[in-house]
Structure 1
Amino acid sequence: MKKLTIGTIKQRKNDKAIVMITAYDALFARLFQESADILLVGDSLNMSFGGNLDTLSTTMDQMIYHANAVCKGAPDTFVICDMPFGTYNDQSSALANAIRVYRETPADAVKIEGGADKALLVKHLVNNGIAVCGHIGLLPQSVRAEGGYKVKGKSEEEALSLIADAQAIENAGAFILVIEGVKADVASRVAASVRIPVIGIGAGNGVDGQVLVFSDMLGLYEPFVPKFVKQYMNGAAAVKHAVAEYKSEVQSKVFPDEHYTY
């Protein structure tokens, strides 16, 4: 599959749905590259890989390490790297950290959370040669400030605010936008209000594509399964079964037999 560009991604608006999935290492990136249009190196790795309760303690060094691994595993796939919490509080720090991503990894773009309040930051990055993916709606990096993960778009006021956020991020120069945890009808209105593709996660089917955390989608992450996640396999059970079978064969001396011995 030919690698997408900023231009071809924009052309997918209201056309062929964009398939985005998270990836954190070369192993899974290599497995996903045949199906994914875009790989997102999400700060969600802090939870699924790091065992933390939220994404907030993720560092730039971690994101750069994982972005490099993903790019090595899927060199022909468009890769977006999350900017972690606290790395884009102002224009100066945002640009310095985004430049780190570009200098130290082959990632194609960065993603930052926030709506109209982050428009000036997005514009500053874009004006300095950084491709930006926006992220509005439920913002995981704001989970402590908001007292939990709360669905957005439950009122007309929230709907209009989300539309304003999307338009502000588009006008600032973002080439694509993630919308998370938003009522489906409102997410559809948001997608219709902008000319850039809108990728949903827990935001219904009236958008331009979907993204899921791969460990959720494959049933590997057991502590919590969000309502919007469809598990396409029971990965945790499959892994546990395989490891238990390995344990049994090792203890019974069945493995290794002559087929697996020099």
Structure 2
Amino acid sequence: MSIHTPKIEKKITLSTIAGMKGVEPITMVTAYDALFAQLFDGEVEMILVGDSLNMSFLGKEDTLSATMDQMIYHTQAVCNGASLPLVVLDMPFGTYTSPEVALKHATRAYQETNAQAVKIEGGKERAHIVQALTQNSIAVLGHIGLMPQFLRSEGGYKVRGKDQADIEVLVEDAKALEKAGVFAIVVEGVKEEAAKAITEAVSVPTIGIGAGNSTDGQVLVWSDMFGFFETFKPKFVKQYLDGAKQIRKGIEAYRNEVKGREFPSEEYTY
């Protein structure tokens, strides 16, 4: 049975998120513009300005061609629309290939947007890059498991944590990121047993997507969860709204009324 939770009324900070581990599940969604960010304001603790916008709104096959200019533009828009959630800018492919490159781009993200953190994909092999950012006062959200920016190098989307050896690798990744200073870790596309082991192994919150119900929070892409993205539907996505169907019904009604000269009626005319 679902519970009714009150709206969020105070600004969410890194300390807020840290204090929620093991206490209260964290809610996180993606947003890419001020309009939807405003709708989500006060409803979720975190908003991720994800490079998923490349697929959801630019029509690309993957996330890899997203640029820093794009991410900054959309993060500015989200920050204009939402004042309460903790906003995270997703660092696009190629912008954190070394500590120096990562620091350059993440510094720009902080200077040009009001994002409170950036997100980086990768485990222990990227821990030194994460550390370079956290040591320079840039908060980092880690991301392990299935990582969309690794799509081409790994030959597709592959579920992780199917055996004990891989679970141990994922736990090592999480511990390395925690040591490097991340404030939380996204755990994507892993078996629930693996997500549980990761969550128990670190003191920072874990935020799952396709990782079962044992993580400290959940994140979904808004166009997936509201039924707007129809190209494919991942197994882990629950649709809370049939958005595409509703939009089509609305536009059909508009077209019919215009063609039949029913709109605009006197009510909508000066």
Task: State whether TM-score is above 0.5.
Answer: yes
1:101-140 aligned within 5 A: 101-140=109-148
**Hey, what's the Cα distance between the residues in 2 that align with 1:259 and 1:16?**
48
Alignment-mate amino acid for residue 234 of structure 1: D
Query: Partner residue of 1:49?
Result: 57
Deviation at 1:5, TM superposition (A): 1.0
Q: 2: distance between equivalents of 1:105 and 1:247?
A: 39
Amino acid at match of 1:253: R
Aligned to 2:208: 200
2:163 to 145, 155, 169: 155
- The runs of at least 4 consecutive aligned structure 1 residues that moved more than 3 Å come to none
Q: Is the 8 A contact 2:42 2:84 kept in 1?
A: no
What is the Cα deviation at residue 34 of structure 1? 2.3
Summarize the alignment of residues 138-149 of structure 1 with structure 2, pairs less than 5 Å apart.
Answer: 138-149=146-157
* Counterpart residue type for residue 218 of structure 2: Q
Whole-angstrom CA distance in 2 between matches of 1:91 and 1:81:
17
Map of 1:209 onto structure 2: 217
| Partners of 2:16 and 2:83 in 1: CA distance | 17
Output the CA distance in 2 between the equivalents of 1:42 and 1:259: 41
1:21 aligns with 2:29: yes
1:76 to partner: Cα distance: 2.3
2:251 aligned residue: 243
CA distance in 2, matches of 1:145, 1:122: 21
Secondary structure of 1:153's aligned partner = coil
Equivalenced residues, count: 262
Equivalence for 1:184 = 192
**CA RMSD for the aligned pairs?**
0.5
Partner of 2:47: 39
Q: How do residues 160-175 of structure 1 correspond to structure 2 at under 5 angstroms?
A: 160-175=168-183
- Tell me the secondary structure at the aligned position of residue 211 of structure 1: strand
2:18 and 2:85 map into 1 onto residues whose CA distance is 16
1:144 maps to amino acid: R
**Offset of 1:155 from its aligned partner?**
1.1
- 1:252 maps to which of 244, 249, 260: 260
Give 1:100's aligned residue: 108
1: CA distance, partners of 2:246 / 2:196: 36
TM-score, structure 2 length as denominator? 0.96
User: Residue type of the partner of 1:20?
Assistant: M
User: Which of residues 99, 105, 109 is equivalent to 1:91?
Assistant: 99
Identity of aligned residues (%): 55
* Contact 2:91–2:120 under 8 Å retained in 1: yes
Q: Deviations over 1:232-257 (max 9, x none)?
A: 01000000110010000011000000
Counterparts of 1:19 and 1:33, CA distance in 2: 12
Q: Give the whole-Å Cα distance in 2 for the aligned partners of 1:132 and 1:186.
A: 22
Secondary structure of residue in 2 paired with 1:135: strand
Q: Distance in 2 between matches of 1:197 and 1:260?
A: 51
Unaligned runs of 5+ in 1: none
